[in-house]
Amino acid sequence: MIRSSRTTLIVPTRHRSASRGASPLVAAVLVLGLALAACGSDKKASPEETGRQAKAVAELRDYGLTKDQATCVTDKLGAETVVEASGMDVLAAGQPYQDAAKACIK
């Protein structure tokens, strides 16, 4: 091997633009994501989920929220979180509830 003080750069004679090569991949991922989102939107809530949602809204209404506020907070936190809380005061003291309340209660 001969060493030289010069550095030789290897430049390909044909090169493909990275953005041109990536665009079909990006398009495929986007189409797949949209297809999965469409499939997921066809799901209907099970009776158990519907019952849990109704119970969570009822508990928040008993705590003093309007129906719209209770529904919004339940959507933000998840019905299971509301129903499984040891008490509304404990739930309301937590940061997730505070964030949901800020978004839902005006």
Residue 69 maps to a domain: yes
Q: Which two tokens stand for residue 41?
A: 């939107």
The region that residue 70 occupies, defined by phi over 0 for left and psi between -120 and 50 for alpha, beta otherwise, is alpha
Position 3 scores a pLDDT of 56
Average confidence score pLDDT of the chain = 76
Whether 7 is in a domain gets the answer: no
pTM of the model: 0.57
pLDDT in tens, 51-81: 899 999 999 999 999 999 999 999 999 999 9
Whether residue 86 is contained in a domain is answered as yes
DSSP secondary-structure letter at 14?
A: S
pLDDT band at residue 2, thresholds of 50, 70 and 90?
low
Per the listing, tokens 């940061």 go with: 95
Q: What count of other Cβ atoms lies within 10 Å of the Cβ of residue 59?
A: 19
Looking at residue 66, its pLDDT comes to 94
Residue 19 lies in a domain: no
Q: What band does 36 get if pLDDT is binned at 50, 70 and 90?
A: low
* % of the chain with per-residue pLDDT over 90: 42
User: pLDDT (tens digit, 9 = 90+) per residue, 87-106?
Assistant: 889 899 999 999 999 999 88
Residues in the chain: 106
Q: How many domains does the chain have?
A: 1
In a domain, residue 6? The reply is no
Host domain of residue 77: 47-104
Q: How many angstroms separate the Cα of 32 from the Cα of each of 20, 24, 26, 38, 42?
A: 19, 12, 10, 10, 16
Spatial separation of the C-alpha atoms in residues 20 and 90, rounded to whole Å: 54
